[in-house]
Amino acid sequence: MKRNSIFLPFILLLLITSPLFSQAPAWEAILGGTINWQRITPYGTLIVSTSEGIKGVDPQNGSILWTTKPSLGAAPETSFKMIDNTPFFSVQSGDGSNEDFCIIESFDGAQVFSSIDAGLQKVNSRYFLHLSGTILVLGSEFGSKSPQVYMIDMATGKRIWDKRADFGIVTACKDLGKNECIVTTGFFIIKMNVRTGEEIWKKAIDPKYDNMSGLMELFDKGSAEFLNPDQITAAILTTPLSPNGVYVTVQATNKKQVTDSQGKVTTQVTIERHYMGFEINDGSALWPALKTMPGPVGLLYAGQEGLVVAVGEYPKNVPNLVQTSGMDVHCFDYETGEGKWGKKGNGINIRGGVLRTIAPMDDGLLLVSGRDNNFTDMVDPGTGTSVVDKEVKVNGQVEYVSKIGAGILYATNEEVNIVNFNEGKKVLEKSFKANSQLMIETADEIIVFNLKDKILYKVDASSGAASPLSAEIEWEGKDMATKLEKRPEGYLISGDQNMVLVDDGGSVIYNKYFPAPVDNGWKKALYWANAIFSAYASLVYSANAGLYGAVSQNIKVATVGDKMAKDITKKIADAYGDASKSSFKYSVKMVEKALQRYNATQQSNDFTFILTTVDKKTAQLIRVHKKSGEIVNTIPLDKDKTPMYELDGLDNRVFYKSASNKIEGYQY
């Protein structure tokens, strides 16, 4: 999850000076010290940086929930980062040789890690072991480049144990629960006791080196200095489909000197990846030998037939990097490592080179591959053989796929269409110029707003037949439609400055345009506003991540359950993965808050905020009712572009730092 992660924005930093609200603030809070910046967490806690420290503030009444140590008050806003799928955030204060990287739990303000307290000069990475209630932190001590590993207790923030340079650097970590985890280093896979640091078993990733562990440990230590912590170079996968197995992939970068015919010596760089399966209880090798193939680590998929692996993207701007070729996708038997796809089990090639998504569809597997444009193919999961005459090229990068009666519905960042693999072509003669945000899928039909002709279309899910639902919609200004939303009144099409509500029969209820301010500083706030609801609304698709390894896809694969959206509770829990299964108090509260705020996007998402202008010289933030298109609140921005406002679009709250150094909370 590169660790993905990505954290999607929920916050709008508003550029406001004169708080001329149409109502008095619900509360005013004097927090102490000078206020530096403020942010809202995904779970609704207001985080305020002051000269006295960072403070958690209750958004309902402005009371101080907790305060950190004073030194963290100097942490710049740019250092604030939420940690994906957790209530933790990190900040970094100080500079040079006196940096303090801290991890804070946002509900209670507990400091669960401090690099200064741990004696570390640099923190390279960290892994959250939710089932075990710990954090594995990697870094180096002051004046040393050698890696050091710390296991931190989430509940207390105290160090449980640490291992110094004799351990090597951790490249991947998998929490097994029951106080056990699996880690990989440059050359080893290790099963550990989380609470004691005891190595339950330790094996060379390549079994042929098991008898040379001492030499491999020397290599392991040396490798730590040149591994790039910002790249995914390893992944660990476990699956219920093979409950006794654990599967790893590690990436290796090789260098060799080459002399050309003119006597010029250059250093060539090649990348290869290795795969291996181990028995999870004792570490014995499941497969007779390591699987080695060219190219970076790519997507892993735990399928019914076996472990599907693919080559990843080559890094850019690496001097003298040689991109070697090989089969793009392989499928290995869980128990034996035997190749199942391609001639003699040696894998298959796909058009586009890089597999971006693999998803089960009826009796086949849908493959989506490519870079600037994608190719879609359907293969037999037992053999990898294409079950269609040819793959279908689609324009743009696929964002969404779903099985419907007419075929495979897909949305890229450029078009929406349906692939009929029986005929090897797209169902719609001309694709809609749209994307996943301009499409709504239900069990029976698909609604799409086509940017090309500005018409709302209805597509029958069974036949794929498309028909206009509306006439051409007038659209003012230079902005484009960015979102299509189903409302009780019909369908709302919106952009940065336009709002158009169309009823279920296609008639326009209202068409509103609010001119954009000219200043680029104001426009930045406008761009943030459009992302406010997207993260929670997408959680229903995130449960798919449980099927994949650490190197995963980022395409939404819809299921019938997603379309019906009946059981949001389980989907939220699934989306939060291991954290939702943890018995720790914070994880229970986190999932409850996520559910609560997700429901807010579904049940009370009746307003939107738009940045607009009256005279092009000033700007104002308006709150518009989606049902009527009428302005219900106005906040003048005047000419100053540096005021401190924060908006929580999920709970309809605005937080303003007044001239008297107070935080004022407004509830709409």
- Span 19-33, pLDDT tens digits: 334 457 899 999 999
**Of 427, 397, 433, nearest in space to 415 by CA:** 433
Torsion, CA 257, CA 260, CA 265, CA 269, rounded to 10 = -40
* pLDDT for the residue numbered 265: 86
- Spell out a b/e string for 27-52, using b for 16 or more CB atoms within 10 Å of the CB, else e: bebebebebbbbbbbbbbbbbbbbeb
Residue 583 CB partners (closer than 8 Å, separation 6+): none
Q: Does the reported pTM lie above 0.75?
A: yes
Spatial separation of the C-alpha atoms in residues 103 and 82, rounded to whole Å: 9
- Spell out a b/e string for 142-153, using b for 16 or more CB atoms within 10 Å of the CB, else e: eeeeebbbbbbb
Spatial separation of the C-alpha atoms in residues 506 and 470, rounded to whole Å: 4
**Of 533, 549, 524, 541, nearest in space to 611 by CA:** 524
CB 273 within 8 A of CB 296: yes
**545, two tokens:** 């991540």
Residue matched to tokens 């102490």: 32
Q: Is 657 helix (H, G, I), strand (E, B) or coil?
A: strand
**450, two tokens:** 């086509």
How many of the other CB atoms lie within 10 Å of CB of 173? 21
Phi, psi for 588 (deg, rounded to 5): -65, -45
Judged on CB neighbours under 10 Å (0-12, 13-18, 19+), 662 is middle
Spatial separation of the C-alpha atoms in residues 517 and 511, rounded to whole Å: 20
- For the stretch 76-111, pLDDT in tens is 988 998 887 778 899 998 875 678 889 999 999 988
Angle of helix 568-575 versus helix 585-603 axis, rounded to 10:
130
Q: Where are the alpha helices (DSSP H) in 472-538?
A: 520-529, 534-537
Rounded to an integer, what is the distance from CA 197 to the centroid of its chain?
A: 30
Beta bridge partners of 258: 266
Phi, psi for 563 (deg, rounded to 5): -65, -40
Spatial separation of the C-alpha atoms in residues 492 and 645, rounded to whole Å: 27
**361, two tokens:** 């569809």
Spatial separation of the C-alpha atoms in residues 210 and 172, rounded to whole Å: 20
Spatial separation of the C-alpha atoms in residues 582 and 86, rounded to whole Å: 12
How many of the other CB atoms lie within 10 Å of CB of 555? 22
Cα 269 to Cα 222, 254, 256, 325: the distances in Å are 18, 6, 7, 14
* Residue spans per domain, the chain: 536-603
CB 429 within 8 A of CB 412: no
> For 438, which DSSP code?
G
Rounded to an integer, what is the distance from CA 217 to the centroid of its chain?
A: 34
Spatial separation of the C-alpha atoms in residues 556 and 554, rounded to whole Å: 7
**Of 666, 584, 665, nearest in space to 57 by CA:** 665
Torsion, CA 59, CA 64, CA 65, CA 67, rounded to 10 = 130
The edge-to-edge listing of strands for the beta sheet with 619-625 is: 607-612, 619-625, 631-638
**Of 102, 87, 225, nearest in space to 152 by CA:** 102
* pLDDT for the residue numbered 9: 31
CB 328 within 8 A of CB 311: yes
* pLDDT for the residue numbered 8: 29
* pLDDT for the residue numbered 528: 41
The segments of the chain whose pLDDT lies below 70 read 1-23, 96-97, 145, 165-168, 210-232, 519-554, 559-577, 579-584, 598-604, 636-643
Spatial separation of the C-alpha atoms in residues 193 and 197, rounded to whole Å: 5
CB 512 within 8 A of CB 495: no
% helix / strand / coil in the chain, to the nearest 5? 15, 40, 45
* pLDDT for the residue numbered 642: 59
For 155-201, give the DSSP string: TT--EEEEE-GGG----EEEEEETTEEEEE-SSEEEEEETTT--EEE
Phi, psi for 599 (deg, rounded to 5): -60, -30
* pLDDT for the residue numbered 459: 97
